[in-house]
Structure 1
Amino acid sequence: MAIRDRGIMKWQAAFQLPELAKTQWDFWRDNERQDKPIIDEHEAEEFDLRIIYAMEYDHSVKLTVWDDGFTFDITGRFHYVDPITHELRIEVKLGEFERVTFDSIIGVKVLN
């Protein structure tokens, strides 16, 4: 005789509690968090030089940004550097801009 298993149906009751699902999601998300890399003054100066070069010759850049324990990449062209608010404005698409603070940048790569 073959055993008839209910398959995934037997696990559905456990995930019906929204508090449990949220707690597990938060736990998994917290497990994936990384500490912010320490950027020394030489790396910061190198980032500045790459940003200046990309702005002068209108090259695209790929910024690696750290935000709340996670890193992601932003690709686009520099639109404006705001020294008062310490932000970069990057045009990722035509007419669409992203704002990135100086402190959150952990990598700069100039693309051709």
Structure 2
Amino acid sequence: MSEVIHDKRWEQKFMLPEHREALLNRKQDVKKIEQPILDEYQLEEMARVICEAMEYNSALIIRFYRDGFIEEVAGRVQYIDEVKKKLHMKDLKGDTSLIPFLSLVAVETK
């Protein structure tokens, strides 16, 4: 009786690119989470921290939900767009991010 030894490295080297991409996408989908639901107190506290940071031009770390994942950006809030309901934030590299209010998960001072 002969025994076949499976080597995952060998299998991955000979996998078609589209199969490898599908496998990676499936792994990413498994890691996705549902958007956290915040209570009234958490929302008020985040608003207070944002307003205070804008007043003193302090840097913040903002965590927000996007497409099943929690993302993080560190920087300063430039202004709040009440009409579009988004924060305009400039990160520490100088890039601008538009973060929808409804996607906010956490805000803290840096």
> Which bracket does the TM-score occupy, shorter chain normalised?
0.7 to 0.9
What is the aligned-residue identity percentage?
Answer: 26
TM-score by length of 1: 0.83
Shift of 1:103: 0.8
Aligned AA (1:22): E
Matches of 1:100 and 1:57 in 2, distance apart?
20
Partner of 1:96: 95
Q: CA RMSD in A?
A: 1.9
- CA deviation profile, 1:40-71 (whole Å, cap 9, x unmatched): 11111111011111111111000011111111
Runs of 4+ in 1 over 3 A off after TM superposition: 7-10
Aligned AA (1:101): P
Q: Alignment partner of 1:29: what SS?
A: helix
Runs of 5+ consecutive residues of structure 1 not aligned to the other structure: 1-6
Partner of 1:4: none
Matched, 1:71 2:70: yes
Partner of 2:20: 21
Matches within 5 A, 1:26-41: 26-41=25-40
Aligned AA (2:71): F
Matches within 5 A, 1:28-67: 28-67=27-66
- CA deviation profile, 1:4-63 (whole Å, cap 9, x unmatched): xxx7774222x1x23311221111001111111111111111110111111111110000
**Number of paired residues?**
104
Question: CA 1:94/1:74 → structure 2, altered by over 3 Å: closer, same or farther?
Answer: closer
Matches of 2:83 and 2:40 in 1, distance apart?
20
